[in-house]
Structure 1
Amino acid sequence: MRVFTTFDELTAAAGTDLGTSEWLTVDQRRVNDFADATGDHQWIHVDLERAKDGPFGGTIAHGYLTLSLIPWLGSQIFTLQTPGAKLNYGVNKVRFPNPLKVGKRIRSHVAIADVIDIPKGKQLTVRHTIEIEGEEKPACVAETVVLLLP
């Protein structure tokens, strides 16, 4: 676990790889709960019988479910204990290059892409690659952007 307590430590880490999280199994219950929370009940995610005959041979996780796991997976790799507010600013370049079949395990590989000065503090960009165990292509690649205010 990498702990950043100052802006200087964070700036020095720009361009570095921070490692990977533990594996997490994405099960059907999690997918169903996400469908209920978002109202996205597309059959490819929640209809086990119909999905068996679908393009992936079973249900797949929502791409946005995978994306939503980034904060939890990332918290296993690093933490920001810098002074002041930490605000989610957005997400850059989100892609879902490989469907995540329900029952598979994922983990996040994290790197600090950039740390830049902004008028009120720092802007941190973190690159997340959500790997699927045993598969070459990741489920998700995204850059999260955090504003750090003193």
Structure 2
Amino acid sequence: MPDMSPEARRLAGHGALVLIFGLLAGFAIGFVVLGGFILDPLPSATFPFPGSERGWRAMHIGSLLNGVMAIAVAAVLDRVVADVGRRRLIAGVIAFAIWANTIFYLFANFAANRGLSPWDNAVGPGSIMGLIAFVPAGIAAFITIWVLGLFARSAFRG
């Protein structure tokens, strides 16, 4: 199999890093549930671990799925998209999106409004945490749909 393009390799690397964040969030779920840093047989410390079980679970699952998406696109990018400029665009936007989503999951966990808007909404008041969660993910949501459409078009055209 020929080497992967630099774009595909970078996207796969970003996917792997986001997977690491998702796996670390899995520890945070346990720390919230158990009430502190508890990894038997290591020394433990009980304290109210920040965030919520729901929020860490969302980051755990969401980041794992985002990492897998990036690696899946990277794995076929060179075979599906012949144009280097389009490959760069798709890989760049997907990399931006997975990091924007990771930031969303992290900061939404500490926002009363769950990061669903930068202002007050039905679930809570706006805050700087909500703003940080919402803005990059909101931008990424639209441009990711667009570039995945470009990717699909390239795939169907052969």
Say whether the fold is shared (TM-score over 0.5): no
TM-score normalised by L of structure 1: 0.29
Structure with higher Rg: it is: 2
TM-score normalised by L of structure 2: 0.28
Larger strand fraction of residues:
1
Q: Which has the higher contact order (CA 8 A, sep 6+)?
A: 1
